[in-house]
Structure 1
Amino acid sequence: MGTISAALRHGNAFDLLRLVAALLVVFGHSWVLTGHTDPLTALSGTDAGAAGVGVFFLLSGYLVAGSWLSDPSPRRFAGRRFLRIYPAYVLVILVLALVLGPLCTQLSLRDYLANPGTWKFLGGNLLIIPMQYDLPGVFAGNPFPGAVDGSLWTIRVEVLCYVAVVVLGLLGALRRRWVLATIAVAACVVATAIEATGYTGPLVPFLLGWDTAVPIAYFALGMAFRAFRGTTPPPWWALAAAAVVWAALWVTPAAVLGSILFIAVATFTVAFRAPAALHQPTKGYDLSYGTYLLGFPVQQILAQAGLLNPWLNALLTAVIVLALAAASWRWVEKPALRHKPVKPIKPAEPVAAVRQNPAAL
């Protein structure tokens, strides 16, 4: 545990990977939100947006499991996760419902505020479960109508993964490598079966839909990689083998499995092999979360304004949203993290006391 923590403090490319993941999500959404098809088609088992989400969940599984193991306190764990996720999330929900909604709706302000859907969006999303993605009359005429921020769905999945980490931690399973490996394999099998069969029902009734299976598989792989490899990157041959397997599975029902394995191996290869110059591309500003939360509504605004070229939509969105994400980090996320609970340091017992009480040895 100490070795992993020390290595993480000395550098990795996690910040770079999270930023790339957020921009991949923006790029992937730029196609569907402008009425086009993502060039990385479903034949490959993924698309740009799904790949970005996968990287997020992969790194989250790795880091969140480590957070629990370094301080197995449910209260402090929940406090850290809450402060990382919720402040920026709440601000986005409030801005969407009370600022963007009135400005972009086709309804009158009076009708918008009187519509129950406005307050259902606000209340449901603040509670995370259940979630709602549309606001009355907002983006109703867009190529992808109605959805105000389709990225929000993963927040619920992320929170439920945190709950699973606590349960596994309390059961001692996070310290059992083969338990984590079994969970990861099972999650990958379930994800592959769902994608291969076209199943669109619930994964866990009232909590998780079929579309959550792939992110959960990535999260489980992140936990398992940490247990087996720590900060040791995958060997180069593993990256080559994963690429071959993925290519061989294209246009087959198991294509998603190939994409999951390749993205997982590629992510941890970059994470621990990238040169130090790439470790902090934004110099201490973590822009990934703000970019992820805000990209979708910015893209919908641009689409409503008539910018329907997916490349231009993605490029202009990136420029706008990175600036907004910097503000979010500077004024919301970073100040919130200053209050995160830390593990108390137990003072060392005085030598004299130990000598007086030999049984303490």
Structure 2
Amino acid sequence: MFFEGSVNSSRNPWSFGEGVDIRTDKTIGQAYTGRDNRLTPIRFVLASAVLAEHAIIVTQGPLPPPPLAINGWSLSYVAVNAFFILSGFLIADSLERRADIFTYAASRALRIFPALVFLSFAAVFIFGPVFTQLSMAEYWTSGQTWLFPIQVLGFLDTSQGPAGIFADLPWAGEFSATLWTLRYEMIAYMAAAVIFFSPIPWNRLTHVALFGITSGAYSALSVFWSDAPALIMSSARLSAAFTLGMVVHGWRHSLPNLPWAVLPAVPLWLISGAYPWAEWFLNIALAAGIFWFAFAAIGGLPTWSRIPDWSYGIYIWHYPIMQAILYFDANSPPLLVAVVSLPLSFALAAFSWSFIEKPSLELKGRAGEGLRSMFTRGNKPHASPDP
């Protein structure tokens, strides 16, 4: 979902078309030639969309139907699918550009873990003592308090925060409702690497086959095993989105940088209603619209490619901020929760990006070399002794 590949462009992000060579008569592959694109602002908008829906969900609790939904597909559901489509495209690109398991692993770990370490320890040492209903003695001696960082960093059950936190709110005990998706992001990272570095052919036909298998599996599960465990159902759903991004990357030199696939895909999605195959059309519409907007000139609209990538911070931090707002006023309406949490989430995301995420990403080269030396130590050929 979160990738560093679209920041740090050398041009002025606020200029309108100066030196921009992103045209709609190109293929996606021709348009995607560097970092001068709108992928970073797109991720920013998607993270903000998740925030907007959670402002309602966090106040209403788990029982009512999801707000801002069409045929059962809510705004945050669609945004998460879009994140995985983008991730599939960019991870495929990263693997092909680097073709090195050590730099790839270091880059992925440094993108995900440093911000999560900060969040999990802030939950235990800052949020927990303030928002728990337990005494300090009970809080600090509870196994649940110390288990939370392990749950987060191990991509396990993140449905409950440190002991006693937010206990009287509609979503009692929950710290950050978005963390569950990171488990599937890591699974996708590892699965893509296994395929790339294995004898399995890495080509555009393989990507199409993977998309067909994962999308078909999700549709079949929805029809024949709708109560399947979340690990199975969510893996199929998000893998379908991720592999669609891989398909677009694999066929990028053949696909025109045009949004016309949206025109049939959206009505087919709406007509399909709640049927499982509707998600095929939803994902195709998302992919067509996102990649066109990311790379097209659109009358000289700026790319804003140098804006800081706050999307990850917004995504993981907005929910605990909303829970904290409700802790002080349980009757806060959704609009007030959104208005108050928006600047606070942006501020925490800015801090996370500037002081944790970006500095960590700058270490990926050295970290990759460190991994290489660690795993290849002792495997170097020894010099033959002189005769």
Is the TM-score greater than 0.5? Answer: yes
Structure 2 unaligned regions, length at least 5: 1-27, 370-387
Tell me the TM-score normalised to structure 2 length: 0.80
- Counterpart of 1:12 in 2: which secondary structure? coil
Q: Distance in 1 between matches of 2:339 and 2:287?
A: 26
With 297-306 and 15-24 compared, the bigger mean Cα shift is at 297-306
Residue in structure 2 matched with residue 136 of structure 1 by the alignment: 163
Residues of 2 paired with 1:274 and 1:302: CA distance? 41
- The letter of the residue matching 1:12 is N
Instruction: Report the equivalent of 1:323.
Output: 347
Aligned to 1:339: 363
Q: Does 1:246 align with 2:269?
A: yes
Q: Say if 2:151 is the partner of 1:127.
A: no
TM-score normalised by length of structure 1: 0.85
For 1:12 and 1:231, the matched residues in 2 are separated by: 19
Deviation at 1:241, TM superposition (A): 0.8
Matched, 1:72 2:99: yes
Report Cα offsets for 1:97-126 as digits up to 9, x if no partner: 221011101101110111111111122322
The residue aligned with 2:258 is: 235
Alignment CA distance shift 1:308-1:194 (3 Å)? farther
What is the CA distance between 1:310 and its match in structure 2? 1.8
Question: Closer, same or farther in 2 for the Cα pair 1:180/1:9, shift >3 Å?
Answer: same
Q: Partners of 2:138 and 2:324 in 1: how far apart? A: 21
Aligned partner of residue 151 in structure 1, secondary structure: coil
After superposition, the Cα gap between the structure-2 partners of 1:104 and 1:232, relative to the gap in structure 1 and judged at 3 Å, is same
Match of 1:199 in 2: 226
CA gap of 1:21–1:174, structure 2 versus 1, over 3 A, is farther
Q: Does 1:308 align with 2:332?
A: yes
- Cα deviation for residue 181 of structure 1 reads 0.4
The amino acid across from 1:341 in the alignment is: G
Change (3 A) 1:178 1:338: same
Which residue does 2:89 correspond to in 1?
62
The alignment of Structure 1 onto Structure 2 pairs a total of residues equal to 336
CA distance change for structure 1 residues 249 and 341 in 2, over 3 Å: closer, same or farther? same
**Counterpart AA for 1:336:** S
Q: Look up the equivalent residue of 1:162 and give its one-letter code.
A: Y
Displacement after TM superposition at 1:45 (Å): 4.4
Distance 1:5 1:336 in 2: 31
- Which structure shows the bigger proportion of residues in helix conformation? 1
Q: Secondary structure at the match of 2:59?
A: coil
- 1:11-160 matches, cutoff 5 A: 11-35=36-60, 37-41=65-69, 43-129=70-156, 131=158, 133-160=160-187
Q: Which whole-Å deviations, capped at 9, do the CAs of 1:164-186 have from their partners, x for residues lacking one?
A: 11111012557311111011122
Q: Is the 8 A contact 1:298 1:321 kept in 2?
A: yes
- Measure, in 2, the Cα distance between the counterparts of 1:99 and 1:92: 10
CA distance in 1, matches of 2:224, 2:326: 33
In structure 2, C-alpha distance between the alignment counterparts of 1:314 and 1:157, rounded to whole Å = 27
Q: CA deviation at 1:6?
A: 8.2
Contact 1:40–1:48, Cα closer than 8 Å, also in 2: yes
Residue pairs, 1:165-314, within 5 angstroms: 165-171=192-198, 173=200, 175-197=202-224, 199-202=226-229, 208-230=231-253, 232=255, 235-273=258-296, 275=298, 277-280=301-304, 283-306=306-329, 308-314=332-338
Find the residue that maps to 1:150 and give its secondary structure: coil
Whether the 8 Å contact between 1:233 and 1:272 is mirrored in structure 2 is no
SS state at 1:147 partner: coil
Give the percent of matched residue pairs that are identical in Structure 1 and Structure 2. 29
Paired with 1:328 and 1:134, the residues of 2 have a C-alpha distance of: 20
Q: Secondary structure at the match of 2:307?
A: coil
Give the structure 1 partner of residue 384 of structure 2: none
Residues 22-49 of structure 1 show CA distances to partners (whole Å, capped at 9, x for unaligned) of 01111121221110654332x5242111
Q: Distance in 2 between matches of 1:99 and 1:114?
A: 16
Distance 2:187 2:196 in 1: 14
Sort the Cα spacing of 1:237 and 1:46 in 2 relative to 1 into closer, same or farther, 3 A: same
Spell out, residue by residue over 1:298-350, the C-alpha distance to the aligned partner (whole angstroms, 9 max, x if none): 11112222253223322322221111111111111111111112899xxxxxx
Contact 1:23 1:52 in 2 (8 A): no
Q: State whether residues 242 and 265 of structure 1, in contact with CA within 8 Å, keep that contact through their aligned partners in structure 2.
A: no
Pick closer, same or farther for the CA change 1:45–1:11 going to 2, 3 Å: farther
CA-CA distance at 1:4 after TM superposition? 4.7
